Chains A and B, each alone.
Chain A
Amino acid sequence: MADINDIKKSFVDDLNSAGTSADLQRLRVKYLGKKGLITSQLKLLSTVPPEEKPVFGKLLNEIRSFIESEIDAKDLHIKDLERGRIIASGAIDVTLPGKYTLPGRPHPISAVLREMIDIFVSMGFDIEVGPEVELDFYNFEALNIPKDHPARDMQDTFYITDDVILRTQTSPVQVRTMERSKPPLKFISPGKVYRCDADVTHSPMFHQVEGLMVDTGISFSDLKGVLEVFVHRMFSKETPVRFRPSFFPFTEPSAEVDIGCILCGGRGCRICKGSGWLEVLGAGMVHPRVFEMVGYDPEVYTGFAFGVGVERITMLKYAIDDIRMFYENDIRFLRQF
């Protein structure tokens, strides 16, 4: 019968030199297998004198558990190391750029138009649209601009025939909408409009957002409120707004709406021609004649209308000084917005 302490000592040496799961398996066989050193000792138990049996048996069992748990512990440790190695070897260079399709950019006019639409829609305005090739009647006559009226000089018109034109404003949408619906009405009509004019600040096609609100008891002070909210949300809460008298045939009283120059903060610069103010909107109370033309009673209903040029606002917002840039569609320009 070998000295159990020798077995233990040799196991500890073996364990220390074991480096892999396979080494450990061999150790398991060597000590705990059918013909293993511990198993062989257990077989010898019957030859031990009865009075020594309990002590010897206990000793053997202790060393057996010791070997088992040591092998298990080392096995766990080795497997951890191996997993660590595998994970480490799978490392990639996370600093290489990812693969994606670079999104295109919205056209600046679209982006600003959407911003405006969102502001008015959030204030409860609906959206109405209408034809761009329009009857002279809806574009002018129904808006209190008869043929041979000098107010027609305010807008150079593209003609298709005597009676058909490219709309010079989105106001005809207001007339068409009023013709088919009854008040209360509150909507904007965004879209393309056309004027026979082209230079650095005039484009033969441009975009407008016009708005209309009609109900009983709508007043000029409501108009001031709505447009002030618009300006404050479009620019900033601090942007000053002023209303001054003007003339549009389809509104009365009419107003031009100026905002404090957003480029110089009102001190006066090239863009605001030194005045500190920028003209950005036209507005007014709907002319009773326009209501009469669509069959609304101006004694019952009142309303206001306004119009804003999208190109104008976009040019101010991004300090773009040539309106033609918008329609060249130069990728290098478009990608900036």
Chain B
Amino acid sequence: MRAPVEWLRELIEFKLSPENLAFRLTMAGLEVEAIERLGDDTVLEVNVTPNRPDCLSILGIAREVSALLDVPLKFPDFRIKEENGESAVLVEIIDEDLCYRYAGRNIHGVTMGDSPEWMKKRLEKCGMRPINNIVDITNYVLLEMGHPLHAFDWDRLKGSRIMVARSRPGGKITTLDGTERSLPDDALLICDAERPVAVAGVMGGADSEVTEETKNVFLESAYFFPASIRRTSKALGLKTESSYRFERGTDIELLETALDRAASLMEEIAGGKVSKRVDVYPRPRKAKSINVRYEKVNKILGASIADGEMVDIARRLGLNVSRDSSSFIVTPPSFRTDLQREIDVIEEIARLYGYEKIPVAIPRVPITKEAGDTLHRHVSTISEFFRFAGFTEAINYSFMDLRMLDVLNIGSGDLRRGTVILRNPLNEAESHLRTMLIPSLIQNLVYNVSMGSRDVRLFEISRVFISKGEALPDELHHVGALYVREKAPSLWKEEVPDFYVVKGVIEALMNELKVDNYAFPRSSEPFLHPGKSCDITVADRMIGFIGVLHPDVIGKLDLKLTKPEILVIEINLEELLPLVSEKAKYVSIPKYPHIDRDIALIVDEAIPASAIIDQMRAYPSDLIEGVSIFDFYKGKNIPEGKKSLAFTLRYRAKDRTLTDSEIESLHDSLVKYITGKTGGIVRGV
């Protein structure tokens, strides 16, 4: 709401500078967002919160200033010259649930023309464009008193009748902006004897609007049910000064004053003759009383405001007050539709008393008995872990471009096709919720590479959304990561293939989280290189994947990397976190020494190392404590299609020191067993 200070001064006297006035209003809840100098006047841009429709006018703001400064309000002064004789119009409210009151006056014999300069100026200062004297007067009164009015061309209304009724299915109207609109169901309409002539409270119809030729005007001032106006305005996508005020709630008592004010201006400015008022008001508003307990006010605020001061604040606000020993009763005026219960009045007292005067305290509340949130703690651990493994944290929108699922070859039966779809997305690429994180990370890669980065290591911990047809989707915390590094000369050489670097991060993470029983079987994810990818399983449940992006996928990306090998990881934390053990298990330190023996095997390339280790571990002897792999070699001296793997076996007995000869025979038979199982041969013997 734009409020010219000059106009405000007409309704209230104050000595404050515009800046100080702005500060006082702001600190009382009417935030002045900007102070604009316009010629010799200053306009305050006031942000009026939705609970205060009474402040959407100069009068309303003046009333606030009056309460703040305890200075009386000067109500706009006018006198109406009525003609004798009844109004020619017959008003009928059909749907009384949507229209509580409908009043009007006929103004005959108006001379159309421009408005006087003072009026045009005020309209312009408030951001309105002057049109003609009749329309300008309705707008002027809207700004002055906050009540929307509508002027019809009386001669274009049929049958001297006004009916206020709900729309019927299939109805249409051309509004005065020249647009033909289909009327939504349940929209409240103003109709003449034949057709709708206005969408009530929103916009008038084109074929009853006031024009240069207008001679006779029918001026409407009504109260419409706020929610109905809002629904209609939303459905039509049409927001007007009028609908904005009606949907917030107008002053049902003031509407006759606004009507008379406008009619008197039409008489004065356009030379019209004003008829008597028609006023259909089937169920007049009953003023509601609110009991306010002195003690409650101070209890809620933590203040010690004197009883008398509370009553005085209520009085300054224009509330009717009667005092009692432990409470006072207020009756809010018709413009304060927001004051419904005790707490509303408490807020008013706090507001005018001044928030800054309420003391500062520190609450005392019992400590919490339950354990805190473990999810937050685990997420922090994992996040720190990825960071120290060299990954920088990304945060992406939860939105996804559905086409990314096509890029990743995600099939139609895949759960990740179960996207949540936004009805009103900002754009097509942000119209679905993510079902996985790596599409976003891949897009981050494309962006960063286009910006010249060649070292992109990112991770993100966020929710993905899988719809299974219920009202709400499953929301699953995932961690996703992406690793791309173009080899650059470096001081300390380390020739570890990227896949194993990334896999090592996950193995170390499992160790950190004390999760065991995990494995890395080959993956069949459609977007991963089939030979360079694995699933991550824990106790045979798949919880995620690690792998190199499939060359076909990379081919579909706009990526300018010379030899891109893009590693991606994604893990469902909902599956992983329940497996995290919170407690370390103490095992007594072995009393007897171990003996290590090595074995190098040449086996078929196709045999996974993990299978050989599993077989060694499964060998029936309780003296085998552990198996680790320490060498992998392919190439010179190894036949084509074969590879060499070298293992260290650690032997230990729980109850004695093992002898060399004892281990010799056990190791020999294990070697025999494993060469038999794998069809391999012992290398270098």
Contact = CB atoms under 8 A, between A and B. Distances in A.
Interface stretch (B159-167, B170-178, B209-217, B424-432): B424-432
A198 B453 contact: no
B393 A110 contact: yes
Contact of A331 (B29, B300, B350, B392): B392
Interface stretch (A56-64, A66-74, A75-83, A250-258): A250-258
B636 interface: no
Contact of A128 (B227, B303, B373, B475): B373
A326 B358 contact: no
A72 B387 CA distance: 59
Given A126-B368, A150-B248, A253-B346, A103 B388 contact: yes
A115 B592 CA distance: 49
B425 A158 contact: yes
B80 interface: no
A334 B455 CA distance: 13
B395 interface: yes
Contacts of A224: 355, 358-361
B643 interface: no
Nearest to A185: B365
Interface string B13-56: 00000000000001111010010000000000000011110000
Contact of A222 (B231, B362, B463, B473): B362
A117 B50 contact: no
A163 B351 CA distance: 35
B422 interface: yes
A58 to B, nearest CB: 56
Contacts of B458: 104, 329, 331
Given A106-B387, A186-B368, A220-B302, A204 B426 contact: yes
Interface string A244-272: 11110100111110000000000000000
Given A150-B50, A328-B447, A329-B394, A133 B426 contact: no
Contact of B391 (A104, A146, A255): A104
Given A221-B358, A221-B361, A332-B453, A161 B375 contact: no
A243 interface: yes
A255 B390 contact: no
A103 B390 contact: yes
B251 to A, nearest CB: 16
B584 interface: no
Contacts of B227: 146-149
Contact of A101 (B372, B390, B422): B390
A161 B423 contact: yes
Contact of B395 (A104, A158, A329, A332): A329
Contacts of B386: 104
A61 B210 CA distance: 142
Most chain A CB inside 10 Å of its own CB: which residue of B359, B373, B387: B373
A220 B456 contact: no
Nearest to B298: A219
A261 B264 CA distance: 50
A160 B422 contact: yes
Given A110-B395, A246-B29, A222 B361 contact: yes
A241 B614 CA distance: 65
Interface stretch (B114-122, B311-319, B396-404): B396-404
B344 interface: yes
A204 B300 contact: no
Nearest to B379: A110
Contacts of A166: 398, 422
Nearest to A279: B31
Contacts of B455: 331
B491 A222 contact: no
Contacts of A141: none
Contacts of B388: 101, 103-104
Interface stretch (A1-9, A10-18, A23-31, A210-218): A210-218
Contacts of A110: 383, 393, 395
Interface string A148-164: 11110110001111011
B110 interface: no
A317 to B, nearest CB: 16
A228 B301 CA distance: 16
Interface residues of B, number: 91
Interface in A96-139: 96-97, 99, 101-107, 109-110, 114, 117, 121, 124, 126-129, 131-135
A288 B343 contact: yes
A253 to B, nearest CB: 4
A133 B29 contact: no
B368 A244 contact: no
Contacts of A233: none
A99 to B, nearest CB: 4
Given A133-B465, A219-B301, A150 B31 contact: no
B387 A104 contact: yes
Interface in B436-456: 444, 447-448, 451, 453, 455-456
Contacts of B230: 148-150
Contacts of A124: 365, 367-368
A215 to B, nearest CB: 5
A87 B18 CA distance: 83
A90 interface: no
A326 B424 contact: no
B374 to A, nearest CB: 10
B366 interface: yes
Nearest to B341: A288
B433 interface: yes
A208 to B, nearest CB: 14
B26 A247 contact: no
B26 A105 contact: no
B300 A285 contact: yes
B49 to A, nearest CB: 3
Contact of B456 (A194, A226, A285, A331): A331
B586 interface: no
A168 interface: no
Interface string A313-337: 0000000000000111111101100
A332 B366 CA distance: 46
Contact of A97 (B28, B50, B360, B491): B491
A261 B42 CA distance: 25
A48 interface: no
Nearest to B48: A247
Contacts of A159: 422-424
Contacts of B611: none
Nearest to B459: A104
B36 to A, nearest CB: 13
B199 interface: no
Closest 5 CB pairs of A and B: A221-B302, A219-B302, A245-B29, A247-B49, A104-B392
11 contacts: A104-B457, A109-B395, A127-B376, A133-B433, A133-B465, A133-B473, A148-B228, A219-B303, A222-B302, A330-B448, A330-B451
